[in-house]
Chains A and B, each alone.
Chain A
Amino acid sequence: MNIAVCIKQVPDTETKVRVSGDKKWIEEGEINFILNPYDELAVEEGLKIAEAHSGEVTVLSLGPDRITSAIRSALAMGANKAIHIKTDKNPLDPMATAEALAQVLREGNYDLILLGKQAIDDDHQQIGPILSEKLGIPAANVVTKLEVSADKITAERQIEGGFEKIECALPAIVTTQRGLNEPRYASLKGIMAAKKIQIEEKIVTVPDDKIEILEINYPPEKPPGKIVGEGADAVPELIRLLKEEAKVIS
């Protein structure tokens, strides 16, 4: 089975992100970048399927030179090959990114394409569905359980208030959600072996962004808390405020 996993490098969740001077992006200088946690699930799932069906896992990632460290993380987990997609400009629009990915994915004849349900930086949640449209193959999104056979997949996906079980033929796209698996740690041997794998580079022209970032802002500061009083006497007033002002209880 020929499996592709699309991965993205994102800022570490513990990193304090600072908005850049022009408010169009963030200061990248001191940020610690990691492999997008949802993509980690996709890599893990790809490796498990490859182990069970004697397959091969190729990771693909689009972005500037710094993303090779995310690619190495995936290789260190056990992926077999990697493609670094280099572009003339850095797309901010998922439509443009998906187009660039699709160009490379078409060449690879993959049976299964896995990717995280979203990237934790821009949170668009669009790449999976757009790829499905562009490649003309089915997609199962936000998947928490996956079974793969030679020609089809059965996937369980979260929906409002329950689960949906769907089946589709391969080739297909699956976007991964927490709960699907527990990603393995990159072992030292894996890390040292990954060092020897040559990352293939592909240069792709991306279409123009159809969206424009006007401004990036911090969330508004939390208003200060209010102390209603002390001891049991304050409770009725607290309940009244929670009901009438905060409207968190009824």
Chain B
Amino acid sequence: MYESVDYYQLTNLLSEEEKLIQNTARQFVEDKFIPIITEYHRVGEFPVEIVKQLGELGFLGSTLPEEYGGAGLNNIAYGLIMQELERGDSGLRSFASVQGGLVIYPIYRFGSEEQKTKWLRSLISGYKIGCFGLTEPDFGSNPAGMKTTARKTSGGYRINGTKMWITNGSLADVAVVWAKLDDTIRGFLVEKGTPGFQVQTIKGKFSLRASDTAELVFDECEIPEENILPDTDGLKSPLKCLTQARYSIAWGTVGAAMACYDTALKYAQSRIQFDRPIAAYQLTQEKLVYMVTEITKAQLLNYHLAKLKDEQKMRSTHVSMAKRNNVEESLKIARMARSILGANGISDEYPVIRHMLNLETVSTYEGTHEIHTLILGEDITGIAAYY
């Protein structure tokens, strides 16, 4: 089996179950996903047939307790799964992050018992797909300004507005949609096919191509009373979901970085220029050393973040630091790997350019790099600098 970079022997810190879980995820990605990803990336589609397999193995909503169909995993095991999935492709990990952190989690955290019974098992098993609509055409980094509204009607709610850049949007059986009800942001479940709900796939992406992204349009879209997530209350509710998904990104991007580093190292050792392998030159070594050091630092950050999360000592700002750092460093690593591969670095014969392009999205979604800087800046200075 593929052996990943583990310079500080962190694998030794894992329990037997955590190792087995990582192995299952790694083997699955190696056997079933890596052989098909290049083709899906070329045509710009998400390999949707893989979803049921993800569900069967337990990769969706795996931290949920068994009574709802989860596997009751701890956060190290959960993080390791995300890392292995993103070694395949950020699109695969994005699917799992959205389904787990942004759909299963809010239903579990803010939903009614009926909503949990109706949705959780089928989402966890991969029989149903969900998406999360927060971003709007005019409100990205500043979701508090959202224009989408919900109006109380006799039988339920009427939703109006547009959500933009929604992962899994065209595939979803259910959308978790955030809208203002009397000026308070609340979450609503909108099922596919509800009259007044339309979905348009976004084309022309140069990043996260093997992931479905769509625009959701709600035009006098009427949903029943029981579809409001009862325990949602203001912007902090979607932000709690984002903390879950950002956690999975902090781990996931290390997987993408590992794939880039492994590829670059092998390439540098075998590519001969001026009669020596390019790995023999100091400039190349500097890049490789940078990569392995940053991967190791990111792994350590993740490992400790997981411990904090399991001990319920993790703050959302801890996640911001890991998301901000790990995405940025993975992106740098991907660019360095690309340069080491020379012309081959721009070809999809190698996974590097795909990861590099994907990571541009990862740096933007779930709070841009800049926004996480401001979140951390506010946390340490006490002064908000967003406006």
Contacts and interface: CB of A to CB of B under 8 A. Distances in A.
Interface of A: 12-15, 32, 34, 68-69, 72-73, 76, 185-189, 191-192, 194-195
Nearest to B2: A14
Contact of B24 (A12, A15, A191): A191
Contacts of A187: 24, 56-58
B300 interface: no
A188 B27 contact: no
A185 B71 contact: no
B3 A72 contact: no
A72 B16 CA distance: 8
Contact of A188 (B1, B3, B19, B24): B24
Contacts of A12: 1, 3
A32 B11 CA distance: 10
B16 A188 contact: no
B67 interface: no
B1 A192 contact: no
A188 B59 contact: yes
A13 B30 CA distance: 15
How large, as a class, is the contact surface on chain B? 20 to 34
B28 interface: yes
Contact of B20 (A13, A15, A32, A72): A72
Interface of B: 1-3, 16-17, 19-21, 23-24, 27-28, 56-59, 62, 66, 71-73, 77
Contacts of B20: 69, 72-73, 76, 186, 191, 194
A189 B16 contact: no
Contacts of A14: 1-3
Nearest to B18: A191
A189 B71 contact: yes
Contacts of A192: 17, 66, 71-73
Contacts of A15: 3
Nearest to B20: A191
A34 B1 contact: yes
Contacts of B59: 188
B21 A188 contact: yes
11 contacts: A12-B1, A13-B1, A32-B3, A69-B16, A72-B16, A73-B20, A185-B27, A185-B28, A186-B24, A187-B57, A195-B17
A146 B87 CA distance: 37
B122 to A, nearest CB: 16
A229 B56 CA distance: 56
Contacts of A72: 16-17, 20
B84 to A, nearest CB: 12
Contact of B57 (A13, A188, A195): A188
Nearest to B73: A188
Given A12-B3, A14-B3, A192-B71, A185 B24 contact: yes
A197 to B, nearest CB: 12
A194 B72 CA distance: 14
B51 to A, nearest CB: 15
B259 to A, nearest CB: 15
A72 B72 CA distance: 18
Contacts of A189: 58, 66, 71
Contacts of A69: 16, 19-20
